Amino acid sequence: MDILNILSLALGEMISPTTITFVLCAMGLSVHFGYTGLLNFGQAAFAAVGAYGMAIGLITFQLPLWLAVIMGLVCSAIFALILGIPTLRLRADYLAIVTIATSEVFRYFMTTIGFAKVTGGSNGLSQFGKQFWALNPIPEADYNFGFVTYRSDQLFVLIVGWGTIILGALVLRLLMRSPWGRVLKGIREDEDAVRSLGKNVFAYKLQSLIIGGMFASIGGMIFVLNLSNVQPQTWTTNFTFTIWSVLLLGGAATILGPIAGGMIFLALISLTQGIMGAMVEMGWLPFLSQPDVAQIRFILIGLSLMLLVIFRPQGMFGNKRETQFNG
């Protein structure tokens, strides 16, 4: 088996555009769940709203890229308001069910033929990336970094993506150290206490939902810009729960947790899949076939969700006292 190839694939996965997307979505979820204690099971929809908002802005309205990105973010904020206003007063588990239902409804709306003129229906949208790629200042060439080689466009996506993550992490750090962030943590720990201090808990939760959602939306935009297409079937509940795995692995109420969690988790999936695939190829696992190996990723996602929540709810970097699953 080609161990070097498998390893370099896994290392490449650590910083891949997919990882960037999940890291950004998990950072958003850390605002929702880690800092505010909101059980948001619809994070995929926030990413999708951003992605579709931007793509529709670029295609239907022929906007310049920066305006389309802002349109995606505005859509995301509106989505957060629509989702949050009726549900944020509800108990945590109701919020969970409503968010997961909303994200499925959104996916149905993006898939339906009725809106296909704008959304592309189940084919999705493509060919909106021209402006983005035109921004690429890196000369056309192959860039070799020892174990991996990137084309200039790949390198461009990585630089944009990781630049966004670093910027996002700095913003998060400032936000969470501000009085505003302390109120969020207060809500997570004891909503009634915060309310008794005269804070409008509902407004703070709504702000948290909007800001966390925007992180996911930016993640979604990078995801679809990299692929140059957006398809409705990407944004399933599996997408959401991959984000949850990433967040819980890293540590929910931390800045670095989602980043490290995303890099490690996606590399781990790639590594397991690579090793299992090679073992199947060599006939060591006679009961599995190559397509089965692709399912391993989901088994890993499911198992890590279960085991992390049971045995290490604070993740790798979290503080156990800060792990709040309000009942």
Partner 1 sequence: MSYQLRATLGRFGRLAAALAILLSIFIGPAALAADNTDPSNPNGSALLIKGTVKNEKKPVEGVEFHITGNGVDEKVKSGADGKWVLEVTNKGVYKVEINLETLPKDVGLRDPEANVRDANLTITNTAAVLFPLGKDTRVVQPIGDQILIRLFAGLNLGLLLAVAAIGISLIFGTTGLNNFAHGEMVTFGALFTWLFHAELKLPLLLAATFTIILGAAFGWAQDAALWKPLRKRRLGLNQMMIVSIGLSIVLRQVFILGFDGDTKVLSGEYESVSLGPILTTSSSLWSMLISVLALGFVAWFLTRTRIGKAARAVSDNSSLAAATGINVERIIRIVWVMAGALTALSGILYGLQFQANYLLGAQILLLLFASVTLGGLGTALGATVGAIIIGFVVELSALIIPIDLKYAASLIILIVVLLVRPQGVLGKKQRIG
Which is nearer to partner 1, 145 or 298 (by Cβ)? 298
Least distance to partner 1, CB of residue 223, Å: 19
CB 100 within 8 A of CB 41: yes
Pair of tokens at residue 240: 């959401």
131 vs 326 by CB, closer to partner 1? 326
State which residue, 124 or 161, has the beta carbon closest to partner 1: 124
User: What is the closest distance, in whole angstroms, from the C-beta atom of residue 104 to partner 1 in the complex?
Assistant: 6
CA dihedral defined by 178, 309, 240, 154, rounded to 10 degrees?
80
Residue 224 burial (C-beta neighbours within 10 Å; 0-12, 13-18, 19+): buried
Q: Which bin fits 127, alpha (ψ -120 to 50), beta or left (φ > 0)?
A: left
Interface residue list for partner 1 (CB under 8 A): 39, 41, 86-87, 90-94, 96-98, 100-102, 104-105, 108-109, 111-114, 121-123, 237-238, 241, 244, 248, 288-292, 295-296, 298-299, 301-307, 309-310, 313, 325-327
218 or 224, CB closer to partner 1?
A: 224
Give the nearest distance from C-beta 231 to partner 1 in angstroms.
10
User: Which residues have CB under 8 Å from 236's CB, separation 6+?
Assistant: 44, 107
The residues, any chain, with a CB within 8 Å of residue 214's CB and separated by 6 or more, are: 28, 46, 50, 73, 76, 77
Among residues 91 and 151, whose Cβ is nearest to partner 1? 91
CB closer to partner 1, 193 vs 303: 303
- The phi, psi pair for 143, rounded to 5°, reads -110, 120
**Residue 295 Cβ vs partner 1, minimum distance, rounded to whole Å:** 5
Q: C-alpha dihedral over 137, 143, 149, 152, to 10 degrees?
A: 20
Q: Closest approach of Cβ 109 to partner 1, in Å?
A: 7
What is the C-alpha to C-alpha distance for residues 58 and 262, in angstroms, rounded to an integer?
Answer: 29
Q: Which is nearer to partner 1, 85 or 141 (CB)?
A: 85
CA distance 87 to 96: 9
The nearer residue to partner 1, 178 or 295, going by C-beta atoms, is 295
Report, in Å, the least distance between residue 279 CB and partner 1. Answer: 15
Min dist. Cβ of residue 64 to partner 1 (A): 29
Minimum CB separation of residue 177 from partner 1 in Å reads 27
As given in the structure block, the two tokens for residue 224 are 């679809």
The widest CA-to-CA distance across the chain, in whole angstroms, is 66
